Chains A and B, each alone.
Chain A
Amino acid sequence: MQAVPRPHTGVVARGVSGARSREQRRDEEFTDYLHARQPALMRTAYLLTGDLHTAEDVLQTALAKLYLAWDKVHDRGATDAYVRRIMVNEHNSLWRRGWKRRERATETLPDAAAPHQHDDGTGDALWQLVRSLPPKARAVVVLRYYEQLTEAETADVLGISVGTVKSQCSRALAALRDRAPADLDPRTPEVDR
């Protein structure tokens, strides 16, 4: 058996202390980001997934992956886009695995994300329609019409072409129009709804 060699103290010291400083710096920056952006990202996660528990899980996974990539995401302005992409992918993945379908069977809608007090029911009804969309279509709707991203920005987040964004938006809205009862049609004058 070979004797355990003495470690290179100089290298070890430099390496270990350098790693700790880097970790501390990363943690401080990341904490600032969490404080500033988590509520907004949580709202997006909720709209993507439809329930708070899944939203929290998806957001936690996305933030964990962001943490792992923190030193490599050079453009801090693109951080939110990076997180949104991971959330969309993670939710799609959960959906494909049937996880969400099993979870939905036992969930109850949380009070924290309830129809706004001034909603006359139309908003809630539309929300239910959006929730009925497949995950990919719902992601396009949320990014375009809630996040107000441009088609190009949406394409970048989803990793698809602008043409695909256009067609998916078009299909999603068509699906909503088809499923919505007449009284929810925003083109119908309010007095007639």
Chain B
Amino acid sequence: MSKQNDPWEDAVGESLESRVRDLHAAPLTLDAVKGSARSIRRRRRALAAGGVLAAAAVVLPVAVLGVGGFGGTGGDDRPAQPAASESVRPTDGATAEEQPRGLAYLQGRTLHRADGSTDTVSERYDSVLDLGTTVLATTRDEQGNLLMDTLEDGEVVDSQPVFGVPVGNGQGTALVVDTDRVLRLYGWSAYTPLSESEAPGPDERPTVRLEPNDYVTALGPDCTPRSASCAVYVNGADGPVVLDAVTGERTPVPDALDVVDASHDGMIAVNTSYQGETSCWAVRDAATGAEAWASCESSLFAFSPDARHLSGTHPYQDGLGNGWLAVIDAGTGRETARYEPQRGSVVVTSAWEDDEHLLAVTAGDDGWQLVRVGLDGEGEVLATDDAPVDYDTFPAPFVLDGQH
């Protein structure tokens, strides 16, 4: 060890050197490191979606808000989607009116609403969930505690500590878990918690709580003030279960590691296995468990609002972002298109903007970008940010509504 000029610096250096001179321990094996890596990857997947997996994309498009489902059918069995319009003012109990397309996202402290308007908010939130009239947004304090703000027109109208990031289902309902792990449903009729509203239904609703080690991965489509049941997909100590937020009943999801998303038309996307660095997935009927298809070619993120497609990526997910974003036919499991960012960049998060577009946040040699990806895999850069790209902490400057 060379001498520094300051005797204190030299003395400290020598002290540290002598402290570890005889320390030659190498306790970690490759298997131990890979085991930790798998745990971190799972945790990052959850955090990248704001603390919950999937569900989010089904939340999207402020466009697809509506209580009571959709009206009319097209030439197939899928429910028709509402057409675009200029305003977003859902009314309690009404069917979906014409809604604008688009997705809310946060860049720094600017909230870009789906209708093109912007609000300046007071925090650089870690997650945002747009319920139309309100936005639920979360931050973490230095101790890691989660605080949820309810925003109207960018202004904080309520704040409360919560256990998990709110999860939406694209139909105007959000699931919030409070610090007692009690499940609370929030409707878009203002920010009144539905569980505390005078909603019709059972006279007595039991308090439904998460168990220790539970975390919410997806919210089913049937969670409205008038629902007799509400499916919440939870990953628990013994694997994934369906937790009914109304009755409290827990039902295991067989042959699955994770339920990553639930579509509005009753399908779920499931991770069925990890095999080293590859993974296998399936789409199943949520009610019957019947499998529509299974594949090990892609890992799955979220259904598009119309449930015709899924977003995904390669089966060997990395923790720092993925090499490409795939568009997958939800009926067959075949990849129909792929967006690959420029060399040196990865896709960090993504979310469905509407039936035909994804928004993707990329990071790499070109810095941060927000990219609109079409069903053909073509990307259009919507915005850039000059925040530094830190591959350890990945403080993304763009936060997508329901990101993945």
Q: Residues of A contacting B14 with CB < 8 Å?
A: 123
Q: Residues of A contacting B391 with CB < 8 Å?
A: 69, 72, 82
Q: Residues of A contacting B294 with CB < 8 Å?
A: 4
Q: Residues of B contacting A123 with CB < 8 Å?
A: 14-15, 18-19
Least CB distance, B321 to chain A, in whole angstroms: 8
Q: Are A42 and B26 in contact (CB under 8 A)?
A: yes
Q: Does B382 reach chain A (CB closer than 8 Å)?
A: no
B294-327 Cβ-contact flags toward A at 8 Å (1 or 0): 1111000000000000000011101110000000
Most buried by B among A12, A22, A59, A72: A72
What 3 pairs between A and B have smallest CB-CB spacing?
Answer: A64-B36, A68-B319, A126-B15
Alpha-carbon separation in the docked complex, A152 to B233 (Å): 48
Alpha-carbon separation in the docked complex, A4 to B283 (Å): 10
Binds A, one of B2-10, B106-114, B222-230: B2-10
Contact partner, A115, options B12, B19, B39, Cβ 8 Å: B19
A103-129 Cβ-contact flags toward B at 8 Å (1 or 0): 000000000111110110011101100
Q: Does A171 reach chain B (CB closer than 8 Å)?
A: no
Q: Are B334 and A8 in contact (CB under 8 A)?
A: yes
Q: Does A71 reach chain B (CB closer than 8 Å)?
A: yes
Binds A, one of B53-61, B120-128, B211-219, B284-292: B284-292
Q: Does B274 reach chain A (CB closer than 8 Å)?
A: no
Q: Does A139 reach chain B (CB closer than 8 Å)?
A: no
Contact partner, B292, options A1, A63, A124, Cβ 8 Å: A1
Alpha-carbon separation in the docked complex, A22 to B33 (Å): 17
Q: Does A173 reach chain B (CB closer than 8 Å)?
A: yes
Q: Does B207 reach chain A (CB closer than 8 Å)?
A: no
Q: Are B278 and A19 in contact (CB under 8 A)?
A: yes
Q: Are B15 and A127 in contact (CB under 8 A)?
A: yes
Q: Does A191 reach chain B (CB closer than 8 Å)?
A: no
Q: Are B27 and A173 in contact (CB under 8 A)?
A: no
- What are 26 of the A-B contact pairs (CB < 8 Å)? A2-B292, A4-B291, A11-B297, A19-B314, A19-B315, A22-B316, A38-B26, A46-B20, A52-B25, A61-B40, A67-B37, A68-B319, A69-B391, A71-B318, A82-B392, A85-B392, A96-B142, A113-B23, A115-B18, A118-B18, A122-B15, A127-B16, A130-B16, A146-B13, A148-B2, A177-B8
B135-179 Cβ-contact flags toward A at 8 Å (1 or 0): 000000011100000000000000000000000000000000000
A66-83 Cβ-contact flags toward B at 8 Å (1 or 0): 011101100000000010
Closest to A36 in B: B26
Closest to A2 in B: B292
Residues of A1-42 at the interface with B, using a CB-CB cut-off of 8 Å, are 1-2, 4-5, 7-8, 11-12, 15-16, 19-20, 22-23, 27, 30-31, 34-35, 38-39, 42
Given contacts A19-B316, A39-B23, A72-B318, 8 further A-B contacts (CB under 8 A): A1-B290, A4-B293, A27-B30, A47-B16, A60-B28, A63-B33, A146-B20, A186-B11
Alpha-carbon separation in the docked complex, A15 to B28 (Å): 30
B19-49 Cβ-contact flags toward A at 8 Å (1 or 0): 1111111111110111011011100000000
Alpha-carbon separation in the docked complex, A19 to B296 (Å): 12
Q: Does B200 reach chain A (CB closer than 8 Å)?
A: no
Least CB distance, A161 to chain B, in whole angstroms: 12
Q: Does A162 reach chain B (CB closer than 8 Å)?
A: no
Residues of A158-186 at the interface with B, using a CB-CB cut-off of 8 Å, are 159, 173, 176-177, 186
Least CB distance, B276 to chain A, in whole angstroms: 6
**Which secondary structure characterizes the binding site on chain A?**
helix
Contact partner, B24, options A39, A97, A124, Cβ 8 Å: A39
Q: Does B378 reach chain A (CB closer than 8 Å)?
A: no
Q: Are B12 and A130 in contact (CB under 8 A)?
A: yes
Q: Residues of B contacting A31 with CB < 8 Å?
A: 30
Closest to B276 in A: A23
Q: How many residues of A contact B (CB 8 A)?
A: 69
Q: Are A12 and B41 in contact (CB under 8 A)?
A: no
Contact partner, A68, options B22, B41, B332, Cβ 8 Å: B41
Closest to B9 in A: A145
Q: Are B33 and A12 in contact (CB under 8 A)?
A: no
Q: Does A101 reach chain B (CB closer than 8 Å)?
A: no
Q: Residues of B contacting A68 with CB < 8 Å?
A: 37, 40-41, 318-320
Alpha-carbon separation in the docked complex, A59 to B14 (Å): 23
Alpha-carbon separation in the docked complex, A20 to B391 (Å): 24
Q: Are B297 and A127 in contact (CB under 8 A)?
A: no
Q: Does B62 reach chain A (CB closer than 8 Å)?
A: no
Alpha-carbon separation in the docked complex, A85 to B290 (Å): 47
Q: Residues of B contacting A112 with CB < 8 Å?
A: 22-23, 25
Q: Does A102 reach chain B (CB closer than 8 Å)?
A: no
Q: Residues of A contacting B393 with CB < 8 Å?
A: 89
Least CB distance, B111 to chain A, in whole angstroms: 28
Q: Are A30 and B33 in contact (CB under 8 A)?
A: yes
Contact partner, A38, options B21, B28, B36, B390, Cβ 8 Å: B28
Q: With A4-B294, A67-B37, A96-B142 known to touch, is A159 a contact of B390 (CB < 8 Å)? A: yes
Most buried by A among B6, B24, B25, B331: B25
